[in-house]
Amino acid sequence: MPTRNREIDACPGVLATHQAADGAVARVRVPGGQLTAAAFATISAGAAELGDGTIELTSRANLQVRGLSDGAALSTRLGDAGLLPSATHERVRNILASPLTGRDGSTDVRPLVTTLDRTLCARPRLADLPGRFLFAIDDGRGDVAWLGADVSALLTSEDSAAILLGGQDRGLRTPLDGVVDTMLACAEAFLTFRTTEWRVAELTNGPDRIAALACPEGHLQDVECPEGHLHGMGPGRVGQADGLVSLVAGAPLGWLDRAQAAALVDTAAPLVVTPWRGIVVADLTPARADEMAGRLRETGLLLDPDAPLARVTACTGRPGCAKALADVRADAAPVPDTTLPVHWSGCARRCGRPRGRVVDVIATGNGYTTTVGDS
């Protein structure tokens, strides 16, 4: 199995893994975070039998399997389960979506996610997008539109959307049936301008140039975008519009161990990976939700919004990352006297840091420094 050349594009996939200090890492793209329990069971079994048993949740709502002994066997299993629909485009299927979309009374953007994914994979040129290029479709609540995606669609009504570029609103608007084509036109415009840049935000005047090329007639409208809230949702229980219940289970420090993954498989419910290192267990009857909450809590998953680790995240650190100056996952803990998210990093790169205002705890090789900052 090839390992990607970092000078070309360091983002791993399943077909091109990343060689970490603790073995090969495969990143499984999960467009919109939406997974059936059966698909998650395939990933979980792959992690248990071919990896070190852990599943890592990323800030792009993708899943990573670590310590792989046989990456080819994993890709075969995932392919058979329909999780690798395009060998050429597998690393560019980075699509965030509002995790509760269509379930709590909001407009359902899941069909848009499906169409975006299929259309993206059908356009050969878009296989050249960097593996870190990110799309987002926000159902209007403002939870994923402002997470720094390169191209975001933010619904402004039931039949229209704002298109944001590099997290910036340049007044680009489209009817709902034009969302996918407009988003992909923007991605193609990025490829036209790109030389060595990985992201829209790295291009000089990127949002303006992309908007002008992708929509030359101009669809600029004076429509307000909903405000964003970057830190999304924490653990808890959410009532659905159909009377059913979704449980939001937080993964401590963003990793699922074998028992936690097995408990999620056992729910046999639709799952949604969130960009806040959680898993939504959806469409449960209230009684089933009570039962499942108890079982998930027993494994150490976070079900309570005020759980001490609910807003604490960490990078890989030692021993998995060769750059790490500390075993941050062993050291990570809540920071007293703050309600902000806290992110522990093994070096100044701060991989996996949440967006927005965050308490950063960074290893120095001689302890940690603690600062508060925005991004």
* For ligand SF4, the closer CB: 21 or 241: 21
Residue 136 pairs in a beta bridge with 96, 152
- Using the minimum distance from each CB to ligand SF4, give the nearer residue, 127 or 335: 335
* Of residues 205 and 371, the one with the C-beta less far from ligand SF4: 371
Residue 161: strand, helix, or coil: strand
Compute the least distance from the CB of residue 35 to ligand SF4, in Å. 25
CA distance 76 to 51: 14
Task: Say whether 373 sits in a helix, a strand or coil.
Answer: strand
CB 54 within 8 A of CB 255: yes
Distance CA 279, CA 272 (A): 5
When the beta carbons of 164 and 325 are compared against ligand SF4, the nearer one is 325
Specify the residue, 42 or 345, whose C-beta has the smaller distance to ligand SF4. 345
Q: Which stretch binds ligand SF4 (CB under 6 A): 52-60, 76-84, 277-285, 312-320?
A: 312-320
Residue number, 38 or 322, with CB nearest to ligand SF4: 322
Whichever of 204 and 371 has its CB closer to ligand SF4, that residue is 371
Among 61, 310, 324, 332, indicate the residue that binds ligand SF4 (CB under 6 A): 324
Q: Starting at the earlier edge strand, list the strands of the sheet with 135-138.
A: 95-97, 135-138, 151-157, 160-165, 168-175
Nearer to ligand SF4, 81 or 351 (CB): 351
CB of 74 to ligand SF4, least distance (A): 22
* Helix (H/G/I), strand (E/B), else coil: 260: helix
b/e sequence 332-364, b meaning 16+ C-beta within 10 Å: beebeeeeebbbbbbbeebbbbbbbebbbbbbe
Q: Cβ of residue 170: shortest distance to ligand SF4, in angstroms?
A: 32
- 181 Cβ contact list (under 8 Å, min separation 6): 119
**Minimal distance, residue 325 CB to ligand SF4, in Å:** 7
**Interaction between residue 20 and ligand SF4 (CB under 6 A):** no
346 binds ligand SF4 (CB under 6 A): yes
Structure tokens at 367: 């302890």
- How many angstroms separate the CA atoms of 42 and 14, rounded? 14
- Beta strands 18-20 and 168-175 are unpaired
CB-hemisphere CA count at 13 Å for 75? 19
Residue from 145, 245, 302, 315 that binds ligand SF4 (CB under 6 A)? 315
Confirm or reject binding of residue 351 to ligand SF4 (CB under 6 A).
yes
Q: Quick check: 317 binds ligand SF4 (CB under 6 A)?
A: yes
Alpha helices in the chain (DSSP H): 37-50, 71-80, 110-122, 179-193, 206-214, 258-266, 286-298, 328-331
Stretch that binds ligand SF4, among 212-220, 260-268, 297-305, 347-355 (CB under 6 A): 347-355
Binding of ligand SF4 at residue 58 (CB under 6 A)?
A: no
345 is an interface residue for ligand SF4 by CB under 6 A? yes
Q: Of residues 126, 321, 332, 361, which one binds ligand SF4 by CB under 6 A?
A: 321
> Among residues 231, 237, 297, 350, which is the contact residue for ligand SF4, using CB under 6 A?
350
**Residues of this chain that bind ligand SF4 (CB under 6 A):** 315-317, 321, 323-324, 345-347, 349-351
